[in-house]
């Protein structure tokens, strides 16, 4: 047994650098700052009492949950349509469709938020086009509100929804679908009775992924919300940078982390993060 243990030591040493880096420069800072929620301004749970007493804290959480659920639902719907098309496409065409998912996925979130501002603001291209064609008389308020946030967030999340769903759809044996058609099922029946149930694991995984990514999302809501609609991440930043209320900010950060880890734990079987990046291209 000593021999086996000795043989493994070398391999454990390979893990060591990443482990030390991750512990010293990732886990330690996070644990340290989350601990502040129990110690500042004075030791105790008074920061967490705000969850039940402060209307503004509750409003932020409510807004965040509402936007996240809407975003998740829309991203799943749109993502499913796209994944369905890609999964059933011929090899040659499929590559282009996948590119349409991967390119937005990897393009800077800032650039994408900027694109939406260009399109949706009061003097933006959409309002201009609608005004010029006479559809509307007054510019529409398309951004710096919840609508703008949802448009931008769904845009960001659709690729994350597509990849796990696509991975699970690609595992469906196409002969099964052909066989169902051959047995006399209509296109819709094949979809509803065969394809949809078989792709359900991917759908759940995508839902969990999009939901937890949305919960802590900072940049897009900050830009497209224009400071008027606050979500949790921006609210935390505000507490720390502008109001210097570390206790409150870290309390909300703790709540956020706990919410995400709980969601993941519940659905841990459905979500395999490694798949997301492994099988896309």
Task: Report how far apart the first and last C-alpha atoms of the chain are (Å, whole number).
Answer: 43
Q: Judged by CB under 8 A, which of 169, 249, 251, 270 binds another protein?
A: 249
Give the interface size with another protein as a residue count (CB under 8 A).
Answer: 102
d(CA 155, CA 255): 26
Our measurement of the distance from residue 163's CA atom to the centroid of its chain's CA atoms, rounded to an integer in Å, reads 12
User: What residues between 144 and 173 interact with another protein by CB under 8 A?
Assistant: 155, 158-159
Provide the minimum distance between the beta carbon of 7 and another protein in the complex, in angstroms, as a whole number: 5
Give which of 53, 73, 57 is closest to 231, Cα–Cα: 57
Q: Residue 53 or 99: which CB sits closer to another protein?
A: 99
Which one, 29 or 41, has the nearer CB to another protein? 29
The least distance separating another protein from the CB of residue 197, rounded to whole angstroms, comes to: 15
Q: What are phi and psi of 138, to 5 degrees?
A: -115, 145
Q: Does 192 bind another protein (CB under 8 A)?
A: no
Distance of closest approach, residue 114 Cβ to another protein, in angstroms: 6
Q: How far is the CB of 69 from another protein (least distance, A)?
A: 17
**H-helix or E-strand containing 47?**
helix 46-53
CB of residue 58 to another protein, shortest distance in Å: 19
User: Is residue 143 close enough to count as binding another protein by CB under 8 A?
Assistant: no
Site string for another protein, 46-85 (x = CB under 8 A): --------------------------------xx-xx-xx
**Does the footprint of another protein cover residue 238 (CB under 8 A)?**
no
Burial class (CB in 10 A: 0-12, 13-18, 19+), 55: exposed
DSSP 222: H
Interaction mask 96-125, another protein, x per CB under 8 A = -x--xxxxx-xxxxxxxxxxxxxx-x-xxx
Take residue 69 and report the two structure tokens written for it. Answer: 């659920």
Name the residue nearer to another protein (CB basis): 18 or 53.
Answer: 18
Smallest Cα–Cα separation from 257: which of 54, 26, 49? 26
What are the φ and ψ backbone dihedral angles of 231, each rounded to 5 degrees?
-105, 170
Is there binding between residue 278 and another protein (CB under 8 A)?
yes
Provide the minimum distance between the beta carbon of 42 and another protein in the complex, in angstroms, as a whole number: 18
- Cβ neighbours, 10 Å, residue 133: 8
Among 43, 134, 182, 184, binds another protein (CB under 8 A): 182
Q: Are 160 and 207 in contact (CB under 8 A)?
A: no
Q: Are 161 and 234 in contact (CB under 8 A)?
A: no
């Amino acid at each position: 047994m000593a021999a086996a243990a000795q043989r493994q030591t070398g391999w454990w040493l390979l893990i060591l650098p990443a482990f030390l880096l991750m512990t010293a420069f990732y886990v330690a800072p996070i644990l340290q700052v989350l601990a502040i929620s129990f110690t500042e301004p004075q030791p105790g749970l008074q920061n967490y009492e705000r969850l039940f007493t402060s209307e503004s804290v509750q409003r932020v959480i409510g807004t965040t949950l509402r936007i996240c659920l809407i975003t998740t639902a829309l991203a799943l719907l749109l993502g499913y349509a796209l994944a369905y098309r890609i999964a059933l496409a011929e090899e040659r065409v499929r590559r282009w469709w996948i590119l349409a998912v991967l390119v937005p996925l990897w393009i800077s979130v800032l650039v994408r938020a900027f694109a939406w501002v260009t399109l949706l603001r009061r003097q933006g291209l959409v309002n201009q086009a609608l005004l010029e064609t006479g559809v509307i008389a007054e510019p529409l308020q398309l951004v710096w509100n919840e609508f703008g946030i949802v448009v931008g967030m769904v845009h960001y999340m659709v690729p994350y929804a597509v990849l796990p769903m696509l991975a699970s759809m690609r595992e469906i044996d196409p002969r099964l679908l052909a066989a169902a058609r051959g047995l006399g099922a209509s296109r819709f029946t094949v979809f509803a009775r065969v394809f949809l149930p078989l792709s359900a694991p991917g759908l759940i995984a995508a839902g969990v992924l999009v939901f937890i990514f949305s919960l802590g999302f900072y940049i897009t809501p900050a830009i497209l919300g224009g400071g008027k609609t606050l979500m949790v991440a921006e609210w935390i930043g505000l507490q720390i940078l502008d109001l210097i209320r570390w206790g409150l900010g870290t309390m909300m950060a703790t709540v956020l982390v706990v919410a995400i880890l709980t969601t993941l734990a519940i659905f841990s079987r459905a979500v395999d993060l490694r798949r997301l990046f492994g099988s896309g291209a």
